[in-house]
Structures are given as structure tokens and as C-alpha cells.
Amino acid sequence: MKALADPISGYLDSLIYERKLSKYTWTTYAHELTQLVALAGTRALNTLTPADIREGVIRARAQGLAARSIARRLSVWRSFYRWLALHSVLESNPVAAVRAPKGAKILPKALSVDDARIMMEANPSQAPQALRDCAMVELFYSCGLRLAELIHLDFEYKVQAGGYRSAGWLDLPGKQVHVTGKGNRQRTVPIGRKAMTALQAWLTVRPQFIREDACPLFLSSHGRRISASSVKQRVKRVALTAGIAANVHPHVLRHSFATHVLQSSGDLRAVQEMLGHASISTTQIYTSLDFQHLAKIYDQAHPRARKRS
């Protein structure tokens, strides 16, 4: 095999045309690979050693990068070198034996049930943008969607010229959404009654936002698919309007969905399916949150746990 002239570009192209990663995921891979190129300097990428990779980990730690972010970086690098071994001369994968530093297990933040209810019901305005924001917030909390999954939802499934196919879409008659999550894993999640009501209200005014592209379920005021930054801003604004002091962003609503469903049902496997986790070990972190909820009730209710006045 010959050495590739530009292995990074070749690998990034394969992510689009072979693995069909989303634009958001592709951008993450591209960023992490620029860090690998910076680490290599003037050397060829296929000459790096495990010692070089460990040096990169040490630098990242010194720069304050979290253990989880370093693990993601190593995962991208490891995947790149596996691809490179199939397309070029590579004696061994220099990242194979390098492990990310262990970080403290940080439990995901979640709203209380009362705060979630207040936030969902704190948007009385009938202005078109307010109806859209209400529908987005309800859908996050009702379905546990990731930010990228929500913004890539189409009004209905589409196959267009040029090979475009909907990554996710609303199934209005079925009262559910079909989404494509991490690792190109597809799943179907039911939509709750309150979220359906909010969606129906948004759909009545949605035609006002349509310009050229009628596919996206959620549109900006300019008629384009709403951006991730806009969604974050709108979610935060809804929370502030509701008087929620916590820093609320889309992932907080996803965590709240998972925590509240698990507290109510105790069905870890069902929550795993609805969240789109590949491994149940990822979902098990919510059992810790559930235990915290139970511990709080115990401290408030048990006569031997209550503080004496």
C-alpha cells in the first residue's frame, strides 16, 4: 500500500459518504483531528507512537480539558488510525493502548417535577414564535431528544433529489417522532398528550415561516431550519420567563425526561430505548439520580432521619 497524500481529508470524506455521519458529529471529528495534526507537527501521522499520544493527553490535561473530552478525542484518533491501517502503511495503532484519565462521575442535572411543570406551562403567549418555542420545549421533555435530533426533524419523511433523506421526522397520525441518534441508530419515541397539543398549535402558524424549504419541522423567522444556538437561546428564555433559576438547556430537559420516567416506572430498559443509548450502562447513571430522590424523601419522612427542632 502507498502512503496517502492527505489521510485526514480521506477519512473525513469516508465519514460523510460511507458512515453518513451527521454534520454536527462530522464537525466534532474534524476538530479533534486538527488537534492530532497539531500534535504531529512536521511528522507524518503514521509515524506517531503511543508515547506521542500520551504526550498529547498530558498537554490536554494541562490545558484544562476534561477527562470526558479527552476520552472523546482519543476515540476519534483511534478510529482514524483503524481507518488508516486499511488504506495505507501503518505498523500499529498508536492510540490502541492509550487510555483517557479517569474523571469524577458527574451526575446529569435534572429539573424537579414541579419546575418542569412550571416551565412547560409558562408560555401563555399566542405569538407564532412563542408557539414554536413552546412546542420545542414540550418535545424535548416529552421525548428526551438530543438537541441535534430535534433540529433535524422534518415535518414528514422526505426523499429528495440529490440523495437527501430525512434524518428524523414527525409522524403526526402515529403521535410519535422517528429520529436518528448517535452511531446512526434510529428509534421511534411516542409524543405525550401535552406535547401533541403544543405541536398542533405550532403547526397552525408554521406556514407563516415557510420560505423555500418546507421540510424542517422547526423554522427560524428567516424560513430556514432553526439552528442549535437559536434553540439553546429560546429554551433558556422560556426557563427564565418561568422563573426557573437553574441554567436550563436542551440536555437538562433530556435528563429531566429520563429521570422522571425512571422514577415513575422503574423500567430502565424502556428508558434506554427511548433515549437511544447503545449500552444500558449509560442509562444506569439515572438510577443514581433516582436514589438521590429516594434519599431526599427518606430524610424528610423517616422519624429517625428528621432533624429535631
CATH of the domain at 58: 1.10.150
Model confidence over 21-59: pLDDT tens digits?
A: 888 889 999 999 999 999 999 999 999 999 999 999 999
Same domain, 192 and 260: yes
- Per-residue pLDDT, averaged over 133-157, amounts to 94
pLDDT band at residue 309 using 50, 70 and 90 as cut-offs: very low
The active-site residue, picked from 178, 206, 234, 254, is: 254
Active site residue 222: no
- The answer as to whether 305 is a domain residue is no
Return the higher-pLDDT residue of 137 and 284.
137
Same domain, 186 and 280: yes
Domain limits at 55?
A: 7-87
- The answer as to whether 92 is a domain residue is no
d(CA 112, CA 155): 31
pLDDT at residue number 1 = 45
In this model, does residue 86 exceed pLDDT 60? yes
- The answer as to whether 1 is a domain residue is no
CA-CA distances (angstroms) from residue 226 to 134, 216, 258? 14, 8, 25
Q: What angle do CA 73, 284, 120 make, to 5 degrees?
A: 95
- The answer as to whether 104 is a domain residue is no
- The answer as to whether 201 is a domain residue is yes
Model confidence over 169-186: pLDDT tens digits?
A: 999 999 999 998 887 888
Same domain, 118 and 83: no
- Per-residue pLDDT, averaged over 213-242, amounts to 94
The active-site residue, picked from 73, 178, 234, 277, is: 277
Number of domain units in the chain: 2
Active site residue 31: no
Active site residue 157: no
In this model, does residue 291 exceed pLDDT 70? no
Active site residue 286: yes
- The answer as to whether 105 is a domain residue is no
The active-site residue, picked from 73, 132, 146, 178, is: 146
- Per-residue pLDDT, averaged over 139-156, amounts to 94
Same domain, 80 and 132: no
Strands 153-154 and 186-190: unpaired
Same domain, 198 and 51: no
CATH of the domain at 238: 1.10.443.10
- The answer as to whether 160 is a domain residue is yes
- Per-residue pLDDT, averaged over 61-78, amounts to 92
Cβ of 118: how many Cβ atoms within 10 Å?
Answer: 15
Active site residue 224: no
The active-site residue, picked from 54, 182, 224, 237, is: 182
- The answer as to whether 66 is a domain residue is yes
